[in-house]
Amino acid sequence: MRIPRMIAVTLAVLGPVVACSSGGGAATPSKAPQAAPADPSAAPEEKGHPFTGLPYEELKPVLAVKIENTAAGKPQLGLKSADIVYVEQVEAGLTRLMAVFSSKLPAKVGPVRSARISDLHITPQFGKPAFAYSGVQTKMLPFVAEASLFDVGDTRNPGAFFRQPGRYAPYNLFANTRQLLAKAPKATKAKDIGFTFGEAPAEGGVEKKTWTVKWPAATFTFGWSETKKQWLIWQDGKKNMAAEGGQLGAPTIVIQYTKTERSEFHDKNQSYTPLVHTVGKGSAIVLREGKAYKARWSRESEEDGTTFTTASGEPMNFAPGQVWVALASRKPVIP
């Protein structure tokens, strides 16, 4: 899998300011205006974490984990601590999650499931993150080997994985996150991936209490909770509960409409794996603070982040906190 690379270089050149004497003598430098002394009591401007917009002390390595997303694998463990959660379509119209961790790291996470080709097109925007999963099709192994990631899956890093009592295979495979990252000491630290955080746009938002997104065999409903200041999540008509307790939810939900088509891969039942195209341009809906905003998304290459803008071209700010990105397709995919 070839990944285009883009290098941006910015040069700033400052020339000296000189003044010529009226008598034709040597030029003498003009006096630069004196800058006002800094106010020692003024607090330095704090820039939020690139994934959440929240305050942070240091940027830490990125860990992406594939998580089961059917009733058999619920409740999931660790999702509450994720910075970003992607919802991806897989075979037979079902969905699976990719949870991205950096600012917070839960001790354990799971159920961990197998990777898909779409994952390998999402991860490059994070640089070279650690990527945890539980196997791939043999045909996909060369693609994983060439991808921009550190492979910390169960085959290469079996010591980080364990079977959770009280659950049945294959939905009982969990992982210790610190052991995952220990096998990827050079994993890229969190960096700008195009997200912006701040005040909501002054115009364009439509009051919404719920928003539903459908895939061929899965339905998500996001409902605004004024009390929790989150969009709580239901899947297939049931509350999406966390193993830690409480219903899953996030301050910002992004429904990113993408081109989705058949890939060259399929499962043992000959159901083809969808390929979700996250490079390019398209429309989106951003849910925050009880309102829905129309937006546009753009990602120039796999190594670039994804930017979201309003209809007028201004940055589409997210609310600080966890972000869920539902990669949806307006056109049904033949399973």
> What does the pLDDT read at residue 3?
43
The chain-wide mean pLDDT, for the chain, equals 85
Torsion over CA of 325, 329, 332 and 333, rounded to 10 degrees?
-70
Domains along the chain? Answer: 63-328 (3.50.90.10)
Alpha-carbon distance 313 to 118, whole Å?
28
> Cβ–Cβ contacts within 10 Å for residue 157, how many?
19
Q: Identify which of 23-27, 63-67, 260-264 has the greatest average pLDDT.
A: 63-67
Torsion over CA of 153, 158, 162 and 168, rounded to 10 degrees?
70
Average pLDDT over residues 157-181: 96
Higher pLDDT, 141 or 318: 318
> What does the pLDDT read at residue 320?
97
Q: Which residues contact 225 (CB under 8 A, 6 or more apart)?
A: 231, 232, 249
H/E segment holding residue 220: strand 218-225
178-214 pLDDT, tens digit per residue, is 999 999 999 999 999 999 999 999 888 899 999 999 9
- Rg of the Cα trace of the chain? 23
pLDDT-derived band at 241 (thresholds 50, 70, 90) equals very high
Average pLDDT over residues 258-275: 73
Q: What is the pTM of this model?
A: 0.84
Tokens (6 digits) for 288 = 């925050």
Kindly tell me if the per-residue pLDDT of 12 is higher than 70.
no
Tokens (6 digits) for 301 = 């290459």
Find tokens 């509960």 and name the residue: 241
H/E segment holding residue 119: helix 117-122
Contact call for residues 197 and 317 (beta carbons, < 8 A): yes
32-83 pLDDT, tens digit per residue, is 444 444 444 444 456 899 999 999 999 999 999 999 999 999 999 999 999 9
Longest alpha-carbon distance in the chain = 93
